[in-house]
């Protein structure tokens, strides 16, 4: 699902420098890391805010490129927080979630939950309606965070 022409929040200042293969921590947290790309980054930040109201400190990483992926940053986040949620507005197969899981399996395995379109046919509608319909809006990211925390080694 791509909703590129929809309005989205401005997340970066004029001084932001995009670098291929480099992710960036947008919000720090100690309990889990949410790795997101594209329009899901703003939704991940919203989910992290709602989780903070529950006492859960979620780190949010913007991962603008999937290939190459920032494996060093992912390994650091997995080691520091011990749990990962991926969020993308893409099919669950062959996207950000798979790339993150592959990178972590090679270096720092930990529980991972995937928020993505569940291999189904598309639909038409407003971007936020579609995000809710396909289970990729902020409440679904927050729910995935709760699930991954339940699986996290104490």
Q: 58, 26 in Cβ contact below 8 A?
A: no
SS3 33: strand
CA distances from 142 to 13, 25, 106, 111 (A): 26, 18, 26, 15
Residue 68 is classified by DSSP as: S
* Contacts for 112 with CB less than 8 Å, ≥ 6 apart: 83, 84, 85, 86, 97, 100, 101, 104, 148
Q: Report whether pLDDT(152) > 60.
A: yes
pLDDT of residue 48: 98
Separation CA 120–CA 109 (nearest Å): 28
In order of 47, 94, 120, 128, 133, the CA distances from 59 in angstroms are 11, 24, 29, 23, 25
Mean residue pLDDT across the chain: 90
38-61 pLDDT per residue, tens: 889 999 999 999 999 999 999 999
Task: Say whether pLDDT at 7 is over 90.
Answer: no
3-state secondary structure (DSSP) of residue 147: helix
Domains and CATH numbers, the chain: 24-151 (3.40.50.920)
Digit-coded pLDDT (tens) for 62-90: 999 999 999 999 999 999 999 999 999 98
- pLDDT digit string, tens, across residues 89-147: 988 888 999 999 999 999 999 999 999 998 888 888 888 889 999 989 999 999 999 99
pTM of the full predicted structure? Answer: 0.90
The pLDDT value recorded for residue 2 is: 47
Q: What pLDDT score was predicted for residue 5?
A: 53
């Amino acid at each position: 699902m791509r909703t590129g022409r929809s309005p989205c929040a401005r997340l970066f200042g004029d001084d932001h420098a995009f670098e291929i293969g480099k992710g960036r921590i947008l919000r720090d947290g100690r309990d889990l890391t949410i790795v997101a790309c594209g329009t899901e980054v703003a939704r991940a930040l919203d989910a992290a805010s709602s989780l903070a109201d529950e006492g859960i400190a979620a780190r949010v990483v913007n991962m603008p490129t999937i290939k190459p992926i920032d494996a060093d940053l992912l390994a650091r986040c997995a080691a520091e927080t011990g749990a990962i949620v991926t969020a993308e507005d893409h099919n669950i197969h062959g996207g950000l979630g798979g790339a993150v899981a592959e990178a972590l399996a090679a270096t720092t395995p930990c529980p991972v939950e995937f928020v993505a379109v569940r291999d189904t046919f598309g639909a038409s509608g407003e971007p936020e309606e579609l995000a809710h319909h396909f289970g990729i809006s902020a409440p679904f990211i927050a729910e995935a965070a709760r699930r991954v925390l339940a699986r996290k080694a104490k």
